[in-house]
Structure 1
Amino acid sequence: MRLAILGTGKIVKEVLATLKDVEEVELKAIWAREHSREKAVDLAKKYDIASVSTDYEELLACGDIDTVYVGLINSVHYAYARQALLAGKHVILEKPFCPTGKEAAELIALAKAKHLFLFDAVSFLYMPNFRFLQQHLKDIGKVKLVQANYSQYSSRYDAYRQGEVLPAFDPAAYGGALYDINFYNIALVTALFGAPEDFHYLPNRGFNGVDTSGILNMRYPDFAAVCIGAKDSESPCFCIVQGEDGYLKVEGAPSRMPKVTLQRHGGEPTTVNENGPLPRLAHEFKAFAKMLKEHDYDKNVRKLEITRNVIHILETSRRAMMQS
């Protein structure tokens, strides 16, 4: 994979720190808006990236690049991804992919028409600990309840409390707890169980209407799930899948999924960390590069079904919140 990076923000810095040790990916270029050029130049020097660009069309015309990673704010994901696909590049979209189902469907259709890969950068889906979770669902019997809590006091919340609205808390930029942090809980539940029959979002809203925290209730035919996400407060993060014969527990944030425990009635718990020493984002980039190398287009399409389900929940919940 010959990769160009779009952006200079927090997630881009984590990606670059990860990719320096992922041999399957060649970092070819970094793009930024003109006002962030100096940041891009500094990152290029730090990570030995040969090309720095502020001209997106020029970047996309480069034949030395086959894939573009979009690490920009949520509201511009669609436009930059679409332009890259039209230029014949594969695309990796940072979560939450696109704000709306219409935009997501258009990108997926365009990628399919051009037989290009379109990846949703949901890190845990490619972690060995997530595979353990999937494989051992059968061992806990009929599922009755799911609880997921990802609560983390945002580094930008102090500014918000003082009246400064950064993109993370800007409704116009699709900021807020639902699209940012609760996204992971929702993606985890839908990746395990598919789309719910019904769902309802109960937000706590700030002075500009953004959801600083909230609870999403989800109903499946035989069980209920609750997804709690907070950027205005913190608590231990976890996910527990409760079954008639035992439970599975993800300890820590789902974005990192550091440990998974299987507990069956009357038995000893089994706790694993099969992710190994790799940084959390390394698993997904290795998986993306492998799919490209092996031309495993069907696997890419299957993963995008999870994306469709998650975006439908996000968009519908946000619309109901904004109308209330």
Structure 2
Amino acid sequence: MKLAIFGAGMIVKDFLTMIHDIPEVELTAIMGTPKDLSTMEELQKTNQIKKIYTDAKECLADPEIDTVYVALPNFLHYQFAKMALEAGKNVICEKPFTLNSIQLVELKKLAEAKNLILVEAITNQYLSNYQSLKQALPELGSLKVIECNYSQYSHRYDAFLAGKILPVFDPKKGGGALMDLNIYNIHFVIGLMGAPKAVHYYANVTRGIDTSGILVLDYPGTKVVCIAAKDCSAQVTSTIQGNKGSIVVDGPTNVMKDYSEQLNGAESEQVDKKIHSHRMYEEFKTFNQMIKQHDMKAAKERMQHSMTVMNVVDAALKDSGIKLG
């Protein structure tokens, strides 16, 4: 993979602490705005990135690049993923893939027409601990209740209350607790359960954006609650309850450092199958292989999952009356 990174924010800096452990990924370029130039120059120096661009079209015209990692703010995902696909580049796009399913369907059709790989960077789907948890689910018997809580008080919330609208609380920029934090919980649940039969989102909405909310997903015989908040905090944990036992994941559903399983009448067992300390390693290892082998079948499977997630997002936003973009 000869990669161009679009963005120079926190997620990119975090990504760069890991990617050198996958030497097959060549850091061909980084692209950002002119105001990002000094940051990109520092990142180039410390991470051996070949080229810097401040113009996306110029970057996408570079024949050395075969893949673009879109790590820009939420509302820019669709625009720049589309540009990259039109330029003939494979695309890895940060979560949330797009702001709605209409945008995602368009990108999907474009990728298929161009015979290009298009995947969403969503860590939990690729983590060994998540795969191990999926395999353990039948041991819990009939699943009854799933609860995921990813709540973090945002240091930007005080500014928001004072009237300063930053991207994470801006509906025009795809902000809000659902898209920032609960999206991880949605991916976690959809990867286990598939599409729900009903979706309801009970959100605390201020100035058109959800600062916190409770998402309820209804499955035959199983009830799911996904909680996310940026205006308050709590222990970040997820619990899966079946009639024969339970599984508890301490910490965010995008990290899954480990989990514990307790069957009825037995001692709790701690499980940790991770193969790397960084949550992004396994997904990018998979993406590199997918692109190297041009595995369109795998890309299609991942897209089906992402489409199911985006349909849930659409339903949640409609249910709560929130309009993004």
The TM-score normalised by the length of structure 2 is 0.96
Q: Aligned to 1:84, what secondary structure does the other structure show?
A: helix
Give distance in 2, aligned partners of 1:293 and 1:155.
Answer: 41
Partner of 1:225 in structure 2?
A: 224
Q: Which amino acid aligns with 1:286?
A: K
Partner of 1:15 in structure 2?
A: 15
Q: Deviations over 1:184-214 (max 9, x none)?
A: 11111111101100010011122x2211110
Partner of 1:282 in structure 2?
A: 281
Please identify, of 169-178 and 278-287, the stretch whose mean Cα deviation from structure 2 is larger: 278-287
Partner of 1:133 in structure 2?
A: 133
Partner of 1:175 in structure 2?
A: 175
1:155 Cα deviation (Å)?
3.3
Partner of 1:67 in structure 2?
A: 67
Give distance in 2, aligned partners of 1:22 and 1:228.
Answer: 34
The answer to whether the 8 A contact 2:77-2:97 is kept is yes
Please identify, of 56-65 and 290-299, the stretch whose mean Cα deviation from structure 2 is larger: 290-299
Give distance in 1, aligned partners of 2:65 and 2:283.
Answer: 19
1:109 Cα deviation (Å)?
1.3
Partner of 1:121 in structure 2?
A: 121
Partner of 2:293 in structure 1?
A: 294
Give distance in 1, aligned partners of 2:317 and 2:244.
Answer: 36
Q: Which amino acid aligns with 2:51?
A: S
1:282 Cα deviation (Å)?
1.0
Partner of 2:83 in structure 1?
A: 83
Which structure 2 residues correspond to residues 92-241 of structure 1 after superposition, within 5 A? 92-206=92-206, 208-241=207-240
The answer to whether the 8 A contact 2:147-2:226 is kept is yes
Partner of 2:269 in structure 1?
A: 270
CA-based RMSD of the aligned residues comes to: 1.4
Please identify, of 63-72 and 297-306, the stretch whose mean Cα deviation from structure 2 is larger: 297-306
Q: Which amino acid aligns with 1:220?
A: Y
1:323 Cα deviation (Å)?
6.0
1:50 Cα deviation (Å)?
1.7
Q: Deviations over 1:252-302 (max 9, x none)?
A: 100101111121112222211211343111111111001122332211211
Q: Aligned to 1:305, what secondary structure does the other structure show?
A: helix
The answer to whether the 8 A contact 2:199-2:315 is kept is no
Give distance in 2, aligned partners of 1:236 and 1:259.
Answer: 16
Name the CA shift for 1:215/1:88 in 2 (closer, same or farther; >3 Å).
Answer: same
Name the CA shift for 1:37/1:187 in 2 (closer, same or farther; >3 Å).
Answer: same
Percent identity reads 41
Q: Aligned to 1:136, what secondary structure does the other structure show?
A: helix
1:22 Cα deviation (Å)?
2.1
Q: Aligned to 2:164, what secondary structure does the other structure show?
A: coil
Q: Which amino acid aligns with 2:309?
A: V
Give distance in 2, aligned partners of 1:235 and 1:20.
Answer: 34
Give distance in 1, aligned partners of 2:114 and 2:124.
Answer: 28
Q: Which amino acid aligns with 1:273?
A: D
1:35 Cα deviation (Å)?
2.5
Give distance in 2, aligned partners of 1:164 and 1:18.
Answer: 34
Give distance in 1, aligned partners of 2:36 and 2:321.
Answer: 32
Partner of 2:251 in structure 1?
A: 252
Q: Deviations over 1:12-71 (max 9, x none)?
A: 111122213221211110000223222222221221212110111111111111100001
The TM-score normalised by the length of structure 1 is 0.96
Give distance in 2, aligned partners of 1:189 and 1:249.
Answer: 13
The answer to whether the 8 A contact 2:202-2:214 is kept is yes
Partner of 2:317 in structure 1?
A: 318
Q: Which amino acid aligns with 1:50?
A: K
Q: Aligned to 1:181, what secondary structure does the other structure show?
A: helix
Q: Which amino acid aligns with 2:33?
A: R
Give distance in 1, aligned partners of 2:24 and 2:250.
Answer: 29
Give distance in 2, aligned partners of 1:147 and 1:24.
Answer: 38
Give distance in 1, aligned partners of 2:142 and 2:251.
Answer: 24
Q: Deviations over 1:295-317 (max 9, x none)?
A: 32211211111111111111222
Q: Aligned to 2:68, what secondary structure does the other structure show?
A: strand
Partner of 2:241 in structure 1?
A: 242
Please identify, of 293-302 and 314-323, the stretch whose mean Cα deviation from structure 2 is larger: 314-323
